[in-house]
Amino acid sequence: MITITVLSENTARGPGILGEHGLAWWIDTGDHRVLFDTGQGLALRHNAARLGIDLARADAIVLSHGHYDHVGGLETAMAAAPGAALYLHPRAKEPKYSGVAPGVVRRISTDFMEREAFRQPGRRVVITREPAEVVPGVWMTGEVPRANDFEDTGGPFFLDKALTQPDPLLDDQSLHVSTPSGLLVIFGCAHAGVVNTLGHIARLAEGAPLRLIIGGLHLENASARRMEETVRALRSCRPAQMGFCHCTGLHAIRRLWREFPEECVQAHAGLRLEFAG
């Protein structure tokens, strides 16, 4: 049995489960366990304990990209899981900012990442742009090629405080998990674009069918064309279940639920999905 549990998300359901702006996923294949992202770190340990998850059992920690709402809990996660290998893209440790004009700036990276404090004695750290099998059957996509002209990073993201160097967010990556009924695709924020990412995974997995798509899609500021192309891509692969959360945007979520009412599930902290392994 393969289980996917949402440890951190903007919304929460269940006794004592906390919500925060961020994402963290626990993937348990039965033989191995992966923590994908860490949220801000405010809810990670608490929610794991409430859900009966022992973070110390993690074999790997994977980071989708370097924004604080996905890596803010990394120090906490590494302390809780001293034996877990860490996987990240080399640009996940860059300074990162968001803003629409000089003087209106928000830092969205963390000291822990920028100082590379994750490099600890005895810790296996894998920094790569390439796809990698982090545990048997669980793959990170590596850097996702930007193959179309209608998807962008989804927001005003920069590498400098002066907001002069746009951040292409090449560190954005997702996970996919092999099951007998198809692939389980888990997004962090899909800054590389949903269509780009699904196309990349299709090539990596040699066209294996999709069973689940879940995560943040960063469609809050999507153009009409981008939304149409996203719906078209999802209709083409038509997984049995889809969950849209975190940075997807309320209007985009409403549109996607309208397009796929039978397939959509609410994705919130406390959610646990099970699949035959």
Q: Which of 213, 141, 217 is nearest to 182 (CA)?
A: 213
Judge if pTM exceeds 0.85.
Answer: yes
Q: Which of 255, 232, 229, 257 is nearest to 243 (CA)?
A: 257
Asked whether the beta carbons of 21 and 6 are under 8 A apart, the reply is no
- Give helix 194-204 / helix 224-237 axis angle, nearest 10°: 30
Asked whether the beta carbons of 16 and 277 are under 8 A apart, the reply is no
What is the rounded CA–CA span in Å between residue 40 and residue 9? Answer: 10
The gap from C-alpha 255 to its chain's centroid, in whole angstroms, comes to 21
Query: How is residue 89 written in tokens?
Result: 């893209």
Asked whether the beta carbons of 166 and 189 are under 8 A apart, the reply is no
- The CATH number of residue 248's host domain is 3.60.15.10
Residue whose token pair is 């609410």:
266
HEC profile of 14-70:
CCCCCCCCCCEEEEECCCCEEEECCCCCCCHHHHHHHCCCCHHHCCEEECCCCCHHH
What is the rounded CA–CA span in Å between residue 109 and residue 106? Answer: 9
What is the predicted pLDDT for the residue at 204?
Answer: 96
Classify residue 250 as exposed, middle or buried by CB count within 10 Å of its CB (0-12, 13-18, 19+): exposed
What is the predicted pLDDT for the residue at 20?
Answer: 98
Sequence-ordered strand ranges (E) for the chain:
2-8, 24-28, 33-36, 60-62, 85-88, 97-101, 104-107, 125-127, 132-135, 138-140, 157-158, 175-179, 182-187, 210-216, 241-245, 272-275
Full residue range of the structural domain in which residue 78 is found: 2-275
What domain count does the chain have?
1
What is the rounded CA–CA span in Å between residue 141 and residue 31? Answer: 21
Could you state, in chain order, the average pLDDT of each consecutive group of 10 residues for the chain (277 residues)?
98 97 98 98 98 98 98 98 98 95 89 98 97 98 98 96 96 97 97 98 94 97 97 94 97 97 97 93
Length of the chain: 277
What is the predicted pLDDT for the residue at 267?
Answer: 97
Query: How is residue 55 written in tokens?
Result: 């973070």
Task: Write the DSSP assignment of 99-124 as a string of letters.
Answer: EEETTEEEE-S-HHHHTTTT--TT--
Backbone angles phi, psi at 250, to 5 degrees: -65, -40
What is the predicted pLDDT for the residue at 101?
Answer: 73
